[in-house]
Amino acid sequence: MIRTTPVITMLLLTAIATAAGEPPATYTNPVWAGDFPDPFIIRHGGMFYAYATQNSPDGFQVMQSPDLVHWTHRGVCYRPPWSDGHYWAPEVIEHDGLFHMTYSATNPDTDRHDIGVAIAADPLGPFEHRAILVRGDDSNGGVIDSTVFFDADGTPYLLYSEESPRCIVLRPMAADLLGVGDERVELIRPDRPWERGVTEAPTVLLRNGIYHLFFSVGWYQSDKLDACYAVCHATAPSIRGPWTKSPGALLETRVGRVYGPGHQCVIALPGGEVWMAYHGWDDQDEPRYGSNPLGRTMRIDRLRWEGDTPIVEGPTTTPRPAPVSAAGPSADATAADGGDAITLTGWGIDTRDLDAFMAQAAAVGFDALISWSTDPEVLVGLVEAGARHHIGIFSCISPMGGLAKLWAERYPDRPVPWQVMTPDEEAALSFITAGRNRYIIPYQFGGEPVMTNEVLTTRIICFSNEEARELLESQIDAIAAVPGLEGLAFDGFGYQNYQCCHCDRCRAMLAEYTQAHPDLPEDEANVVCFRDALVGYINSLADYARSRRPDIRTAIHIWPVFAPDPLYGNRLDVDYCGQTAAWYMPWPEEKIAEYSRIISDGARDYFPRQQGVGMIGYYDRPGQFPVKDAARVDMELRTMIDNGVRHIQVCSAVDVVRNPEIAEVFTSRCER
């Protein structure tokens, strides 16, 4: 790769661009200005997939998006072989490593709608027919608008609408989702005049012990003077009821803007935001087929909660703040908890019995795990195992030993370009690494130092070396090509002496920076120069990863610490910025609270994509690290959460999973 920009200039310009930040992103409805009725959205592998009722005789349509706003139509993913038309309201759920689509279509033998199920290995399909779940007959007039709901005890249920008489009913499902039981429970029916005899399109979520049912009422097409299709809401203490309808509608026609908004689904984002997707007619001609040229277009609006009452901020037609961190380290999410969800990411994976470890990690509550392996073959196995347990996998790159090995293979006759320290710092390194000193003295292992001249015992390659950067980019190329990999993580991006590098190129960079900023005192110029160089380096690598795969998520733990500015991480243009809120060595509760507030409050000061992540250190390694007991870990997690942290990293995930008492603490605070 030929670079025409000198390294020093590149680093400084990148840092300046990073400090400037980006304007908040917006969206304007419709997010898909074409016929896409009855939309249903899932998230998988850092991408969103939307499914809809047919807009041609070919079958169910599917689209793909990295952010819920920009969509690419991917054609048809399934055409039921047993039906000749009316391919309606597909919904897809990932279960046991496969994607299950439930849908309704016309049975040519009865001319009624049946509900079928099809499966696929990929969310884009192709789906294959597996079974007819419910048949339309004289007792129900036909069955449509199915959805699958897993109750708190793991029992799956199929909810759907019967066409005559209209009502929403529930049936228990088989564990493999390929059959239903005989029991039929009626949940609600249209008993209010303005519902026009229609209740359909059920969506269920469980929040704070209350079951919430979203459903649509009225006629999906009509004319502007009688556009009555709308989204409504009901609550119950149990999935079986009794259900109490909320007064009025959550979404309804806005004359002159949107007509007949309905057939909703709910999407929960890793950052805690909750969104509702739905279709609606715009103001062009009448809201019915044959008149409106666009058909029913797909729209999204934010869903928030006031206590246990849902509020949908729509239907909107003007620019609005876009979903924040729409993709992140969690599995498919189409139900919501009102923004109180805690996402948990762990560093480290025990590969000795991989599937058993993934099952244990899922039981603890891990949404994502980070591997230090960059080997594509290894990562493929991790991704497959993670998918079976709905755990996303990140691969970590680091400018340390692994990169040094790659350097030796590529440049066997050239020394590794390690960062340079002063003689005093090298002497401190020799003292710390002598015998068991690091485990006896108050050494902080890359955390905030408490000793004079404390340095990291691990060597770090200098960021000013272009060949080393190209090696990191080659690792990113390989990682980005792994199918289904959730994202890229960074670790070890810092300075061995926690503040700077003394190599000739870095000293030249500092001299250039000081000359360009004569108003800054020498000490301050040193801090800002090396902080911004570090920030620019990380951000440029994150940009490179996104140029290779736009949907890739990026994560980091700020380690080793940058001692002059320990919480600089909000300057990083990454999705999940882990900053230490509770170190391996016990910190005072007041410090944990203060750092947690800074991490959560400042996350989006520079970049709207960033989620502030609190990092908690836990090793169960007596003689090397202080071993925290369950009460201590619980206090640290509670303090972090009480002070605004909603995304948590822990290292080591392996140590957490192995210790039942610690695992239980994490489960109680971070249950999925």
The pLDDT, as a whole number, for residue 89 is 97
Least confident range from 178-192, 380-394, 468-482, 625-639: namely 380-394
User: Does residue 8 have a pLDDT over 70?
Assistant: no
User: Does residue 137 have a pLDDT over 90?
Assistant: yes
- Do the beta carbons of residue 463 and residue 399 sit within 8 Å? yes
Nearest to 496 by CA among 463, 440, 465, 457: 457
- Do the beta carbons of residue 259 and residue 281 sit within 8 Å? yes
Nearest to 109 by CA among 75, 78, 127, 132: 132
The pair of structure tokens assigned to 665 is: 């603490």
Q: Is residue 219 exposed (0-12), middle (13-18) or buried (19+ Cβ within 10 Å)?
A: middle
What 8-state DSSP symbol labels residue 89? Answer: E
**Helix orientation angle between 504-516 and 7-20, rounded to the nearest 10 degrees:** 50
63-82 confidence digits (pLDDT tens): 999 889 988 888 899 999 99
The pLDDT, as a whole number, for residue 46 is 77
In the block, tokens 């200039």 appear at: 9
Buried b / exposed e over 600-636, threshold 16 CB at 10 Å, is bebbbebbbbbbbbbbbbbbeeeeebebbeeebbbbb
Task: Name the 3-class secondary structure at 640.
Answer: helix
CA distance linking residue 280 with residue 294, whole number of Å: 10
642-662 confidence digits (pLDDT tens): 999 999 999 999 999 999 999
CA distance linking residue 248 with residue 197, whole number of Å: 16
Percent of the chain at pLDDT exceeding 70: 93
The H or E element spanning position 427 is helix 423-433
Task: Name the 3-class secondary structure at 505.
Answer: helix
All residues at 6 or more sequence positions from 226 whose CB lies less than 8 Å from its CB, including other chains:
219
Radius of gyration for the chain, computed over Cα atoms and rounded to the nearest angstrom: 27
**Mean of per-residue pLDDT scores for the chain:** 90
Nearest to 33 by CA among 322, 279, 254, 372: 279
| Start-to-end Cα distance in the chain | 44
293-343 confidence digits (pLDDT tens): 899 999 999 999 888 899 998 899 888 888 875 444 333 333 333 344 688
2 vs 204: which has the higher pLDDT: 204
The angle formed by the CA atoms of residues 480, 485 and 491, to the nearest 5 degrees, is 75
The pLDDT, as a whole number, for residue 672 is 55
User: Does residue 24 have a pLDDT over 70?
Assistant: no
CA distance linking residue 2 with residue 502, whole number of Å: 26
581-610 confidence digits (pLDDT tens): 999 999 999 999 999 999 998 887 888 778
Q: One-letter amino acid identity for 466?
A: E
State CA 375 to chain mean position distance.
23
What distances in angstroms separate CA 363 from CA 129, 513, 551, 630, 665, one per listed residue? 32, 51, 27, 17, 12
Task: Name the 3-class secondary structure at 194.
Answer: helix
What long-range pairs does 189-193 form, CB within 8 A, spacing at least 24? 189/165, 190/166, 190/217, 192/217, 192/245
All residues at 6 or more sequence positions from 351 whose CB lies less than 8 Å from its CB, including other chains:
357, 378, 382
User: Does residue 260 have a pLDDT over 50?
Assistant: yes
User: Does residue 9 have a pLDDT over 70?
Assistant: no
The pLDDT, as a whole number, for residue 341 is 66
Task: Name the 3-class secondary structure at 469.
Answer: helix
User: Does residue 7 have a pLDDT over 50?
Assistant: no
pLDDT band at 106 (very low <50, low <70, confident <90, very high): very high
User: Does residue 615 have a pLDDT over 90?
Assistant: yes
Average pLDDT over residues 349-358: 94
What distances in angstroms separate CA 341 from CA 46, 416, 419, one per listed residue? 18, 44, 41
At 457, give phi and psi (nearest 5°). Answer: -80, -15
User: Does residue 104 have a pLDDT over 80?
Assistant: yes
Q: Is residue 457 exposed (0-12), middle (13-18) or buried (19+ Cβ within 10 Å)?
A: middle
668 vs 24: which has the higher pLDDT: 668
What distances in angstroms separate CA 39 from CA 65, 231, 273, 296, one per listed residue? 13, 14, 19, 10
All residues at 6 or more sequence positions from 431 whose CB lies less than 8 Å from its CB, including other chains:
437
CA distance linking residue 557 with residue 561, whole number of Å: 10
The angle formed by the CA atoms of residues 176, 180 and 184, to the nearest 5 degrees, is 150
Buried b / exposed e over 112-138, threshold 16 CB at 10 Å, is bbbbbbbbbeebbbebebbebbbbbee
